[in-house]
Amino acid sequence: MSARRHEGPDEGAGGFVQQYFRNEQRQRLPVLKHRLQLLYAIETHLTTIVIGEPGSGKSTQLPQFLHEAGWTADGKVVACTQPRRIAAAMLAQRVADEMGVELGTTVGFSVRFSDASDPQTTRIKYLTDGTLVRECYADPLLSAYSVIIVDEAQDRTIATDTLLALLKKIQRKRRGDLRVVISSATLDAERLQAFFGKDDTAIVSIAGQLFPVDTQYLDAPCENYLTAAVETVARIHELEAPGDILVFLPGKDDIAAAISQIEELTHGDARLASLQPLPMHAGLSTDEQRAVFEPAAAGMRKAIFATNVAETSVTIDGVLYVVDCGFVKQRVLDLATGLDHLVTQPISKSSARQRAGRAGRTQPGKVFRLYTHEALGSSLHPRHEVPEACRLPLAPMLLTLKALGVNNLVRFDYVQPPPPALLSHALEALASLSAIDLQTGALTQDFGLYLAELPLDPPLGACLLNSVRRFGCAREAVAAVAMLSLGESPFSAPSGRMAEAREDWRDFVVQEGDVLSRVNVLLGYQDTPTRARQQWCRTHFLNARLLDQATRISRQLEGYLARFGYGKSELASSCGRDASLLQRCLVSGLFANAARRRGPSGGSYQLLRGGGALDIHPSSVYFGADATPEYVVFASAMTTTKAYINGVTAIDPAWLTALAPNYYSASQTAPV
C-alpha cells in the first residue's frame, strides 16, 4: 500500500493570486478539520462511512484529499458517484476550477450522453452511480479505481443499492485493493456498517456548515395542509423579517392551487401585495424555472411552492423560511394488481430534517412544520424512506445483476433484501419476455444479454430488438421506445389554448393511438433543421425539452443496435405505410399490458388477465375520443386518483396469441 504514497501532485496550472483565493475558500469548509481522520480511516479500513451535512464540502474535498495523498498514483482513479447527472457535472467543474485544471483532464466526469473524462489523464472522476454500474460490464472488477466514493447514499436509489452490493463483492475479489467510501447526509449508518462488515468499516461524522434552524410545529393536526400552507405563508410575510419562503407540497396540482389562493389573497390585502408566489417542479421548462433563482424584485418576497425537487436536486439561495406540509408523493408497485401507484404519504424523519435544513444555508432560519411534534416522533413518519429496491419493479436491476454473473438472485447479498414477492414478480416478467430461461435461470443468449445492456425498461428493449430481428421497422421503433421511455406526452398546451392546439395536433394524431402519434411527432421534429426546432415546437404546441431528450435517446439506441452487430440497412428499416408492423412490434414487448374495452364504447378498459377498471389518461389521444379501440396495449399504468393507462396503442387480439403464445391462450383473447 505504501508504494502508492507520494508527495501531492503538482498540477502547475493557476497563478498565485488564484491559488490563494482557492485556498481561502477551501479553508472554510468543515471537512478540512477531518482531513487526517478521513485519510486514516480510509487507509486502515476497507470501507468508510462518512456522515456529513450539506455544506461540509465532502463531495468536493474528499476526492482531492485522496488524490493528494497518493491514491491516484500508478494511474489509478478516485471515483465519486452521484445519483443525478447535473450534480456529477457541476462537482467535476468545481473541483477542476479549485485545482486549476481543465475539465476533462485530471478532473473529469462521465454521465449518460456526456463523457468529459480521459482514461490516460483523469484521476478524479465524477459519475452517476448508474454509469459506474455499467462500467462493470466492461471491467467487472472496476480495476481502474483505487477508491470509490458513493455520495448521496441516503437516497437509496436502485442504482445506489445495486452499486453498493456490487462493490462489496468486488472488494472481496480484489483482496483489499479497493477502498469504498459511503457518504451521505442522514444515513442508516448501522445497517450499512453491518452490510460491509463491522470490523472493516469505519464511521466518520463531519459537522455541516448549516446555521441553526428554529423549528415550529402545529399544536394540533391540520385538516387541510394546502390551506394551512397558504395561511402560514401569509403569516410569515406579515410577521417575519425579510427573506424568501420555500414551501414543500406533494404535487403540481397543489402547487397551482396554492399559488392561485395566494394571488387571491394579495388582491384583497395590500400588505400581501409584496408577496411573489412562484412554482417549482420538474415539469417546468428551464425558462419557467429561472424565475425561482433570480432575486426577488426590490421590496418583494419570493414564496416558492415546490415539490421534492427542492429537497435535494435543486438548491435555491436566499431561503430563510421553510414551510413543510409533511407529505411526499412516491411511486410504489402494487403487487396485487402489478400496477404502479403514486401515493401521497407522510415523509420520513430524515426527509423532514433535510427539508428544514433548506432554511439554514446562508444564515439562521425558521421551519414551520404543518404537523405536530408528536406526529413526527411517531411511527407515522418512518426513520428513513423505503429504499427503491424494496418498492419498485426490479426487472431492470435483476437483469443487470444477471448480466454481471449473479446466478442466484433470491439469495444475492442485497443491501436490504427486497420483499420476495417483488423478486418473483420481476423474475416472472423477465421470463415472459424470454430474457431469462425459467429452467436454468440464465440470461437467454444474445436477447437477454442485449436487454441488460440497453438503457431501457425490459419490455421496451424487447420491442426495440424485435423491430430489427423480426419486424423490420427499426426507424419507427427507435422513435417509439425513445418516446415511451420518457413516459410523458409531447402534446402540451396552456389550458387557455387547448382547442387551438388540438386542431394543430390533427396533423400528427392517428387512430392507431399514442405511440404512433408520438412517433409522427418525433420524426417530424427530427426532420426539422436544428435551429428551427424550438419555433416548430412552439407553433405546434409540443414539448421541446422532451423531444430533444428523445432525439438523444434515439441516437444512443441506434448506437447500441450497431454495437450488437445490426447493419445500416437493418437500422434504416421502416414499416412505411404498414402501421401494423410497428403495432405488432409493440405487442411483442408490451403484451403483458393488453387490455380490452369494458363497454361498447368509451375509455374504460380492463386487463386481459383480469383486474379492475383502467381509464384512459387525459394526456392520451384516446381520452374523450368518439371511437376507441376494443383491444389495446399500453406502455404504462399508474394509479393516482384513478387507475390510468397511457401510451396506448390499438391492437388486433389475434396478435397476442401469435406473439406471446405462452402468455395468452386463444380462448383468453377471443371476442365474446
Residue 134 binds DNA (CB under 7 A): yes
Q: Is 199 exposed, middle or buried (0-12, 13-18, 19+ CB in 10 A)?
A: exposed
Q: How far apart are CA 548 and CA 530, in angstroms?
A: 10
Interface with DNA (CB under 7 A), residue from 48, 162, 308, 588 = 308
Three cell numbers written together for 562: 450497431
Q: Is 455 in the site for DNA (CB under 7 A)?
A: yes
Closest CB 629 distance from DNA, rounded Å: 14
Report the site for DNA in 229-268 (rule: CB under 7 A): 250-253
Separation CA 544–CA 398 (nearest Å): 33
Which residue, 35, 24, 22, is CA-closest to 67?
35
Rounded to 10°, the helix 158-173/129-138 angle is 40
- Interface with DNA by CB under 7 A: which range of 193-201, 522-530, 566-574, 634-642? 634-642
Secondary element (H or E) of residue 214:
strand 213-218
Quick note: the x/- pattern for DNA over 194-233, rule CB under 7 A, is ----------------------------------------
Q: Name which of 47 and 157 has its Cβ closer to DNA.
A: 157
Q: Cα-flanking dihedrals φ and ψ of residue 597, to 5°? A: -60, 140
**Contact at 8 Å (CB) between 462 and 450?**
no
> Which one of 487, 576, 612, 661 is in contact with DNA (CB under 7 A)?
487
The smaller minimum CB distance to DNA, of residues 282 and 572, is found at: 282
Alpha-carbon span 123 to 93, nearest angstrom: 14
Grid-cell match 427486497, residue found: 418
Least distance between DNA and beta carbon 265 (Å): 23
Q: By C-beta, is 624 or 661 nearer to DNA?
A: 624
Out of 282, 297, 410, 438, name the contact with DNA by CB under 7 A: 282
Dihedral over Cα of 304, 306, 310, 313: its sign: negative
Do residues 149 and 87 touch, judged by C-beta distance below 8 A?
no
Q: Compare residues 280 and 659 and give the one whose CB is closer to DNA.
A: 280
Should residue 641 be labelled a site residue for DNA when binding is judged by CB under 7 A?
A: yes
Stretch that binds DNA, among 83-91, 368-376, 523-531, 659-667 (CB under 7 A): 83-91
Binding positions for DNA, 141-180, rule CB under 7 A: 157, 159
Region near DNA per CB under 7 A, out of 187-195, 268-276, 616-624, 656-664: 616-624
Contact 538, 494 (CB under 8 A): no
Q: Residue ranges of the alpha helices (H) in 300-416? A: 349-357, 373-377, 395-403
Binding mask 112-131 for DNA (x = CB under 7 A): xx--------------x-xx
Q: Which is nearer to DNA, 59 or 330 (CB)?
A: 330
Q: How many residues does the chain have?
A: 672
617 near DNA (CB under 7 A):
yes
Instruction: Taking each helix axis as running N to C, give the angle between helix 544-563 and helix 474-486, from 0 to 180 degrees, rounded to the nearest 10.
Output: 130
In the complex, least distance from residue 114 CB atom to DNA, rounded to whole angstroms: 8
Does position 559 interact with DNA (CB under 7 A)? The reply is: no
Stretch of residues binding DNA (CB under 7 A), selected from 3-11, 58-66, 280-288, 506-514: 280-288
Task: Give the other-Cβ count within 10 Å of 309's Cβ.
Answer: 15
Q: How many residues bind DNA (CB under 7 A)?
A: 53
Question: How far apart are CB 334 and DNA at their closest, in Å?
Answer: 13
Q: Is there binding between residue 369 and DNA (CB under 7 A)?
A: no
Please, which contacts does 516-519 make with residues 24 or more away whose CB atoms are closer than 8 Å? Answer: 516/476, 516/480, 516/579, 516/582, 516/583, 516/649, 517/621, 518/479, 518/480, 518/483, 518/484, 518/489, 518/490, 518/647, 519/476, 519/479, 519/480, 519/483, 519/582
Q: Is 283 in the site for DNA (CB under 7 A)?
A: yes
The interface region with DNA, picked from 177-185, 319-327, 515-523, 614-622 by CB under 7 A, is 614-622
307 binds DNA (CB under 7 A): yes
495 belongs to the binding site for DNA (CB under 7 A): yes
Q: Does 392 bind DNA (CB under 7 A)?
A: yes
Is residue 552 near DNA by the rule CB under 7 A?
no
Q: Which of 457, 476, 512, 558 binds DNA (CB under 7 A)?
A: 457
Sequential DSSP letters for 593-604 = GEEEESSSSSSE
Per CB under 7 A, 286 contacts DNA: no
In the set 18, 205, 216, 313, which binds DNA (CB under 7 A)? 313
Closer residue to DNA (CB): 207 or 309: 309
Phi, psi (deg, nearest 5) at residue 14: 90, 130
Report the 10 Å Cβ neighbour count for 578: 13
CB within 8 Å of 260: residues ≥ 6 apart:
none
> What is the phi/psi pair of residue 333, to 5°?
-80, 125
**Cβ of residue 129: shortest distance to DNA, in angstroms?**
8
For 75, other C-beta atoms within 10 Å of its C-beta total: 12
Q: How far is the CB of 85 from DNA (least distance, A)?
A: 4
- Give the number of other Cβ atoms within 10 Å of residue 290's Cβ: 10
Closer CB to DNA, residue 100 or residue 283?
283
Sites of contact with DNA (CB under 7 A): 83-86, 111-113, 128, 130-131, 134, 157, 159, 250-253, 281-283, 307-309, 313-314, 329-331, 342, 392, 396, 455-457, 485, 487-488, 495, 602-603, 617-619, 623-625, 636, 638, 640-642, 644, 646
